[in-house]
Amino acid sequence: MFEIFSSVDTWIALLTLTFLEIILGIDNIVFISLAANKLPKHQQKKATNLGLLMAMVQRIFLLFGISFLVELKRPFYTIHNSWLDISISSQSLILFFGGLFLLYKSTSEIHIKLDTPYQEENTLNSKKITSLKNAIVQILIIDFIFSIDSILTAVGMTNGIGNSPNDALILMIIAVIISIIVMIFFANTIRNFINRNPSIQMLALSFLILIGFMLITEAAHLSNTVIFGNKVGAIPKGYLYFAIAFSLIVEFLNMKLKKKIETSEKNNKR
């Protein structure tokens, strides 16, 4: 069973898979942070940790059902006419509706935050997720949507590892467990940071809009969608993560500059 770990290729594959799960889990952490921050303070840390642990269990179950995930890729309905060609699969539908869900949640949250100064406290509280169960369900739904793509990618990366399919499965499960432990270690710090900085909250919500749009285009790409003779291509994830990283760096510089100006003003008043 553990003979596969005697190979250097196995360790390289494990590190790559773990890194992949952590990078793809950034989207998850952002959504979990925003969902948890709408709960009462004494439940926020619990929701974050519990959400990630249940997401880990869900991903492991999905790994055992890889054949089910592969089946989701097969088209079950095709549309062909003069302006539209599309082969609809269960996977593309899940990504499409998942993208719509993220767009709805993000835009509605932005609307609420922009209207905050003009709303009474009771009105705002009525729009919060007051149930821990409700928050966990939303976290698991989003994790399921993100898991499909990452698990199928992991399956492709582990082809040829070990002497049996179980070897690759063990490797993927270990990568999921390690990545979730790493995310739990940093998730609450990220959640607190997002909660303390309104500008970062807006950036996080904007990122989720980008991710929602990416999921919709990914769904169209997987469905081999052709509109008026033009095939819909996938948005490279590297471009998206670069845009997110660049925006965060600019925002951190703005925050540092603002803090420096405030410190300078305080010193001048003395």
Give the pLDDT score at 153: 67
Residue 258 parent element (H or E): helix 237-269
Query: Any idea what DSSP says for residue 129?
Result: -
pLDDT at 66 over 50: yes
Residue 44 near residue 191, CB atoms below 8 Å: yes
In this predicted model, what pLDDT tens digit does every residue of 126-147 receive, in sequence order?
445 557 788 888 888 888 887 7
Burial 122-157 (b: 16+ CB within 10 A, else e): eeeeeeebeebeebbebbbebbebbbbbbbbebbeb
Q: Report the chain's mean pLDDT, rounded to a whole number.
A: 78
Give bridge partners of residue 226 from the DSSP assignment.
85, 231
In this predicted model, what pLDDT tens digit does every residue of 197-221 receive, in sequence order?
878 878 888 888 888 888 888 888 8
SS3 62: helix
What pTM was estimated for this model as a whole?
0.72
Residue 187 near residue 29, CB atoms below 8 Å: yes
Q: Which of 156, 208, 178 is nearest to 22 (CA)?
A: 178
Residue carrying the six token digits 């390690």: 178
Give the pLDDT score at 53: 87
d(CA 130, CA 36): 10
Residue 183 near residue 52, CB atoms below 8 Å: yes
Give the pLDDT score at 118: 47
In this predicted model, what pLDDT tens digit does every residue of 103-120 receive, in sequence order?
888 888 788 777 765 444
In this predicted model, what pLDDT tens digit does every residue of 79-104 receive, in sequence order?
888 888 898 888 888 888 888 888 88
| Token pair of 103 as six digits | 């767009």
Count CA atoms within 13 Å of residue 181 on its CB side: 7
Residue 136 near residue 50, CB atoms below 8 Å: yes
Count CA atoms within 13 Å of residue 134 on its CB side: 10
Identity of the amino acid at 232 = V
Length of the chain: 270
Give the pLDDT score at 246: 87
Residue carrying the six token digits 């790559």: 16
pLDDT at 4 over 80: no
Give the pLDDT score at 125: 46
Residue 135 near residue 34, CB atoms below 8 Å: no
